[in-house]
Amino acid sequence: MLEKRRQAALTARKGSGREAKSRVMIAMFCFCAFYVVIGGRLVQYGMADDQATASIPRADMLLASRPDLVDRNGEILATDIRTVSLYAEPRRIVDADEAIERLQTVLPDLDIRTTHRKLSSDSGFQWLRRQLTPKQQADIMALGIPGIGFRPEKRRFYPGGTTASHIVGHVNVDNRGIAGMEKYLDSQGLADLFDLGMTVDEEMEPVALSVDLRVQHIVRDELAAAMERYDAIAAGAVVLDIHTGEVIAMSSLPDYNPNIPSQALEKDRMNRMSAGTYEMGSTFKTFTTAMALDSGRVRMGDSFDASRPIRIGGHTISDFHGKHRVLSVPEIFIYSSNIGTAKMAEVVGVQGHQEFLTRLGLLTRMQTELPEVAMPLQPREWKQINSITISFGHGVTTTPLQTAVAAAALMNGGKLIQPTFLPRTEAEAMAHAVQVVNPQTSADMRELFRLNSLEGSGRRADVEGFRVGGKTGTAEKVVNGRYSSDVRFNAYLAAFPMDAPQYVVLVVIDEPKPEEGQHAATAGLNAAPTVSAIIRRSASLLGVQPKYGRDGSAMLVSY
CA–CA distances in Å: residue 213 to residues 137, 242, 257, 296: 34, 19, 16, 43
Catalytic residue among 251, 282, 337, 391: 282
Under a CB-based contact definition with an 8 Å cutoff, are residues 105 and 143 in contact?
yes
Task: Provide DSSP, 277-336.
Answer: -B--GGGGHHHHHHHHHHHTS--TT-EEE-SS-EEETTEEE--TT---SEEEHHHHHHTT
Go through 45-58 and write b for each residue having 16 or more CB atoms within 10 A of its CB, e for each that does not: eeeeeeeeeeeeee
Q: Is the peptide bond before 254 cis (omega within 30 degrees of 0)?
A: yes
Give the largest CA-CA distance in the chain.
153
Name the CA dihedral angle for 445, 446, 450, 456, rounded to a multiple of 10 degrees: 10
Reply yes or no on whether 282 is catalytic.
yes
d(CA 284, CA 139): 60
Dump the DSSP string for 135-164: HHHHHHHHH--TTEEEEEEEEEE-TTTTTT
Specify which residues 377 forms β-bridges with. Answer: 397
Q: Could you give the CA distance from residue 328 to residue 334 in angstroms, rounded to a whole number?
A: 10
For residues 459 and 524, the answer to whether their CB atoms sit within 8 Å is yes
Query: What is the Cα–Cα distance from 420 to 527, expressed in whole angstroms?
Result: 25
Catalytic residues: 282
